[in-house]
Amino acid sequence: MENNTPLKRTLSLPQMILYGLGTTIGAGIYALVGELAGISGYLAPAAFLFAALLAGLTALSFAELSCRYPRAAGAALYTQQGFHSHKLTIIVGLLVITAGLVSSAALINGFSGYLNHITTLDRSTSIIIVSLFLIGIAVYGIAESIFLASLITVIEVGGLVWIIFVGHDALNQLPEIGSYMIPDFTLASFGVIFAGALLAFYAFIGFEDMVDVAEEVENVKRNLPLAILFTLGITTLLYMLIMVIAVASMPPEELAQSKAPLATLFTFHTGQPATIISMIGMLAIINGSLIQIIMASRVIYGLSSRHQLPAVLSYVNPKTQTPIIATVLAGLVVLLLALIGHLSTLAEITSFIMLMVFSLVNLALWRIKRHEPDPEDCIIFPQWISLLAFLVSSGFVILEITKAII
């Protein structure tokens, strides 16, 4: 199918920061606080911090690569530039697409938990309705999609600030229970933190999605790297405050029983129904799911436009200037995965896939920097950072594989 319609370059720096916050916050804190408390207990804040450091190293690589190669297809494109392997490029592209679709399905599952707080709608019906709605929004247009995502992001960040405000008295408990939150550096303690960090890492996934809309960003070489760094910093601060307040407020095993943990936390501190928080949580989760569908469709489009997937998938609707066939395909796969999957399982699968992708991207950047160390008009980080990011990411992959075998 012959198609020369370009993507619409319309996203500013503030919009990209909101885009990043929308996918990371929606993908993490509203859905996974309880799950993480159940895995790591009082060490959940340490698991979050460990995950943030891991994500931060790779975020620096993506920030630099987004300036070097400001085009759609993101990680797949970076792999191509680093290894010059057609097959490896396609594999990485498909892994990123899979991770995005699985992540979106995980979020829609998280949505159903919050929905149960305010309606009696059954899980399958709610998944079908919201999936079709998100497909429609994503098809309609990138500007409209990002406007909606940005509006929801402002609301969801406001919800987190509200939780921090009503729960800040829990910080007074730190002198008594703070010692429980500090790891004792034994093998058992590290094992608990590692197990939680793999799940917590899912909460930081988002910056890699931002690079997949590079062809729709204004002044992309400046705005996209800055947006990635701002997103990670703001997200880490909010997550740490929320997680510390959560485990200081109630026993982790009690928090783990909640399907809507921040709603439970709100009720615990105020004694009031958490209807508004539940609604904000639902919006946050759906926002993340929408952005994941957009991301996956852009990677499909990017690979197709470079003749690495069937050409029909790169068709751009002349009216909406969106890759309509790729978007519909991505949305339908999300719908199917959401119906058959479970939140924590889908989240862990997403984290594992992205750790493999991050390992390859970090190594690709290290190889690129050896041949082109100082490109013009780009943010550049020391070469050792990309190598360290590769070692850390690949180390996590190896440990997880070893754990699965044992």
Q: CATH code at 173?
A: 1.20.1740.10
Using an 8 Å Cβ cutoff, are 63 and 221 in contact? no
Secondary structure letter of residue 313 according to DSSP: G
- pTM (two decimals): 0.76
- Amino acid at residue number 141: G
pLDDT of residue 181: 84
106 and 341 Cβ atoms separated by less than 8 Å: yes
Whether the CB-CB separation of 177 and 208 falls below 8 Å is answered with: no
Residue 400, both tokens:
């997880």
pLDDT of res. 391 = 93
Q: How far apart are CA 264 and CA 285, in angstroms?
A: 16
Measured CA to CA, the distance from residue 82 to residue 89 in angstroms comes to: 10
Tell me whether residue 195 is in a domain. yes
Number of folded domains that form the chain: 1
Q: Partners of 217 in the beta sheet?
A: 11
- In the chain (406 residues long), the average pLDDT of successive 10-residue segments reads 63 85 70 83 89 90 89 82 89 85 80 68 82 86 74 85 90 82 82 83 78 82 91 90 90 83 88 82 77 83 83 85 89 88 72 88 94 83 93 86 75
Instruction: With respect to residue 3, please indicate whether it lies within any of the assigned structural domains.
Output: no
Q: Which residues pair with 11 in a beta bridge?
A: 217
Shortest CA distance to 386 belongs to which of 403, 370, 397? 370
1 domain residue, yes or no: no
Helices 383-405 + 187-202 axis angle, to 10:
110
Tell me the residue range of the domain where 39 lies. 13-405
Residue 62: the pLDDT is 92
State residue 364's pLDDT score: 95
Residue 169 lies in a domain: yes
Please write down the HEC assignment for all residues of 38-73: HHHHHHHHHHHHHHHHHHHHHHHHHHHHHHHCCCCC
8 located within any domain = no
Q: Is residue 305 part of a domain?
A: yes
User: H or E segment at 307?
Assistant: none
Measured on CA atoms in the order 399, 88, 294, 210, is the torsion positive or negative? positive
Instruction: Quote the pLDDT of residue 117.
Output: 61
The answer to whether residue 95 is domain-embedded is yes
pLDDT reported for residue 309: 85
Cα separation, 13 vs 60, in Å, equals 17
User: d(Cα 41, Cα 199) in Å, to the nearest integer?
Assistant: 13
Phi-psi bin for 237: left (phi > 0), alpha (psi -120 to 50), beta?
Answer: alpha
Query: pLDDT value at position 33?
Result: 84
- The answer to whether the beta carbons of residues 363 and 215 sit under 8 Å apart is no
Is 5 part of a structural domain of the chain? no
Residue 11 backbone phi and psi in degrees, to 5:
-95, 125
Integer Cα distance of 154 and 159 in angstroms: 9
Alpha-carbon torsion 85, 356, 295, 222, what sign? negative
